[in-house]
Amino acid sequence: YPSEHTVNIYHQIFEECGVDAILGSHPHNPQPMEKYVFTCPMTQRQKQGFAIYSLADFVAYDIFVLDRLIPLLKLHIVKGRTEEGKIHTQIEAIEVKPVYNWGKKDVSKGKEMRFLDLERLIEKIHTNQTPKFMSKLCEKEALYLYEYWKKVFRR
C-alpha cells in the first residue's frame, strides 16, 4: 500500500496543479486506486481526480507474488464545453483489467512468460480447464491474486 506521505503528495499535486489523473509507478507490486475530490486551482470548481498509486511491473518476474498482478487501465477521455462555453476535457470512465503475469518457474528448462486475462483464467480454473502449462502453485497464485484484485481494485 502507498505510504501516508505518498498519498499526501498525490493529493497535493491534485490541489496545486489541477490534474485529472496520476498514474503511479515504481513499486514492484500494484497499489490501490482512488477518486479524489478537490477544488481546481485554475477554475475554482470542484472536480474529481483519479489516482492509481502503482501500476506495478509490466514485464518482470520477481520473487514476489503480487508483482505478477498487472492492472491495465483504459481511460475514456472526452471533450466538451462548460456552461460558459469553454472547451473542457475530462475523464468520463475508467476501466481496469487484471492481467496475470505467468512465468516458467524452472528457468533451467527455458524461459517463458505469458500475460493472461486474470478474470478469464479464474473462470477456467473454476471449471477445471486450467491451462496445461500452469502448475498447481501457479493456480493457487492466480486464485490469491484474484482475491487481492477484488479486495483492492474492484469497487
Which residues are CB-neighbours of 89 under 8 A, at least 6 positions away? 20, 77, 78, 79, 80
> pTM of the entire structure?
0.81
Query: How far apart, in whole angstroms, are the C-alpha atoms of residue 135 and residue 110?
Result: 16
Query: How far apart, in whole angstroms, are the C-alpha atoms of residue 110 and residue 104?
Result: 8
57-104 pLDDT, tens digit each = 877 666 678 888 999 999 999 998 878 888 888 899 999 999 999 987
130-148 pLDDT, tens digit each = 999 999 999 999 999 999 9
How many CA atoms lie less than 13 Å away from 35 in the CB half-sphere?
9
